[in-house]
Amino acid sequence: MKKTIIIKTGDTFPDIIKACGDFEEMIASGLRISRDKLRVVNVTAHEALPDIDQINGVVISGSHAMVTQELDWSLALEAWIRKLISAGIPLLGICFGHQLIAKALGGVVDYHPRGIEIGTTDVTCLAECANDPLFKDLPPSFKAHVIHSQSVIQLPPSAVLLAKNEFEPHHGFRIGTAAWGVQFHPEADVAVTRGYIENLSEDVLSSGQDPGQLIDHLEETPHASLLLKTFGEIVMHP
Phi, psi of 56 (to 5 degrees): -120, 0
Q: Is 128 exposed, middle or buried (0-12, 13-18, 19+ CB in 10 A)?
A: middle
pLDDT > 80? residue 220: yes
- Four-way CATH pick for 3-236: 3.30.360.10, 3.40.50.880, 3.50.50.60, 3.10.20.30: 3.40.50.880
Residue 15: pLDDT band with limits 50, 70, 90? very high
pTM over 0.75: yes
**Mean pLDDT over residues 45-64, rounded?**
96
The per-residue pLDDT for range 112-122, each reduced to its tens digit, is: 999 999 999 99
Mean pLDDT, the chain, rounded, equals 97
Q: Residue ranges of the domains in the chain?
A: 3-236
Q: Which residues are catalytic?
A: 95, 185, 187
The per-residue pLDDT for range 85-128, each reduced to its tens digit, is: 999 999 999 999 999 999 999 999 999 999 999 999 999 999 99
**Mean pLDDT over residues 156-163, rounded?**
96
Instruction: Specify the pLDDT at position 237.
Output: 85
Residue 238: pLDDT band with limits 50, 70, 90? confident
Give the residue among 150, 151, 147 at the shortest CA–CA distance from 187.
Answer: 147
pLDDT > 80? residue 173: yes
